[in-house]
Amino acid sequence: EGFTRHGELIGDRLYVLDGEVLDQGFVTNWQVAELGSTGLRIFDVADPANPVLICAMPTPGRPSDIAVSGDLAFIADGGTGGLLVVDLADPTSPVITGIAETRGLASAVAVLPDNEPPSPGTAGRGLPSARVAVADGADGVSVYGIFGTIPDQAFAIDTDGLATDVVAWDTTLAVADGWNGVLIYDLNNPIEPFHFSVANSAVSLTHDASNGLLYAAQAMGGVAVFDV
């Protein structure tokens, strides 16, 4: 019904971030008052010819990216939303259980691999249930530890451009940084990145673990492919 910003297919469930979720009969009046009209839809696509909407959940900001790990979803909810942690244990009734106000306009989120090193800002708190990186526009990238369902910022990475997307594998974090190109960070020491220049503004990334290639969509320059 609204402006669809992102879709993520995991198993038989399709997660869609949409600009309008209020007309589906799933949303109560208090949710409308507290959250807004944009949000998340979840579809059962076991039969792809007949997708079934199983829930619609509003969010406070403008959701643009989602990453799912087990029964938790992490949503980059730009504007007033920041980083949302959503409990998906009951996919017909997801619940926002944690919110972090990010420094900038949260546009993308990635779950860091399990072997990612301990986060320096969360020493003494034990091991988080997950770690996520958020592309935060002009404010670079923020990395959070998730303790239970509560996000706690571990550290931030200041990039020189406009961070719009992040992908992670092993101990590596790649950032689409707008006119600044693509940055590759070693999360063991996220200080000096490896820098790939691009012909135009880097806006989105996909990593293929099977062949070690990183694909960067450029605003008006096609797709750049890097061997990483």
Query: What is the tens place of the pLDDT at every residue in 15-34?
Result: 999 876 654 444 444 444 34
In sequence order, what are the residues at sequence separation of 6 or more whose Cβ sits closer than 8 angstroms to the Cβ of residue 165?
A: 65, 107, 108, 135, 175, 176, 202, 203, 204, 205
Angstrom CA distances, 81 to 68, 117, 167, 186, stand at 18, 27, 21, 28
Span 83-88, average pLDDT: 95
Rounded mean pLDDT, 140-150 = 92
Model pLDDT for residues 184-213, shown as the tens digit of each residue: 999 888 888 999 999 889 999 999 999 999
Nearest to 68 by CA among 130, 123, 115: 130
pTM comes to 0.86
Task: Count other C-beta atoms under 10 Å from residue 121's C-beta.
Answer: 14
Could you give phi then psi for residue 91, rounded to 5 degrees?
-65, -15
Inter-CA distances, 8 with 5, 66, 68, 80, 228, Å: 11, 7, 9, 22, 24
Q: Which residues neighbour 33 within 8 Å (Cβ) at sequence distance 6 or greater?
A: none
Q: What share of the chain is helix, strand, coil (3-state, %, to 5)?
A: 5, 50, 45
Residue 191, pLDDT score: 84
Q: Is the pLDDT of residue 42 over 90?
A: yes
